[in-house]
Amino acid sequence: MSFWDDLLSLFKKGVSTVAKKTDEYTKIGKIKVDIIGIKRDIDKKLNELGGKTYQLIVEENNTKVASNEEIKAIIDNVKDQYRKLDDKKDELQRVREEYARETGQEPEDIDVTVDEEAPKG
């Protein structure tokens, strides 16, 4: 092989690697945006839960907050959002592992922690 053939081959490999990394980062970026949206939804629902709980206890003197249907619905929604968040974290891990296998590299660290862990149960 000549110098130019070697150079062309190296260039093609470089372009292929760049294309794969671009695709990987695009998918990872979309998943991270989804994760941020889910976290925001969780925060909204937890704020709504706090406001409704305060209203029931202080303004209506209702001590049976846990049996209130609105409270139960909000809690169920928050639990569902946490499940979605876990699914997105798993999806992100799968994407990272898939690209790591294709490139023969280790998957990059994933920083998708939730600021405050709330009970999921």
Q: How many domains does the chain have?
A: 1
Residue 105 has pLDDT above 60, yes or no: yes
* Domain containing residue 34: 3-102
Angle at which helix 69-103 crosses helix 3-54, to 10 degrees, equals 170
The pLDDT of residue 111? 53
pLDDT, the chain, mean: 85
> Residue 108 domain-assigned?
no
> Residue 16 domain-assigned?
yes
CATH number of the domain encompassing residue 51: 1.10.287
Determine the length of the chain.
121
Q: How confident is the model at residue 101 (pLDDT cuts 50, 70, 90)?
A: confident
> Residue 112 domain-assigned?
no
Q: DSSP secondary structure string, 46-89?
A: HHHHHHHHHIIIIIS----GGG-HHHHHHHHHHHHHHHHHHHHH
Residue 119 has pLDDT above 70, yes or no: no
Mean pLDDT for the stretch of residues 76-98:
94
> Residue 83 domain-assigned?
yes
> Residue 34 domain-assigned?
yes
Mean pLDDT for the stretch of residues 29-38:
96
CA distances to 42, 57, 90, 106 from 84, in Å: 10, 30, 10, 26
103 residue type, one letter = T
Question: Global pTM?
Answer: 0.71
67 residue type, one letter = S
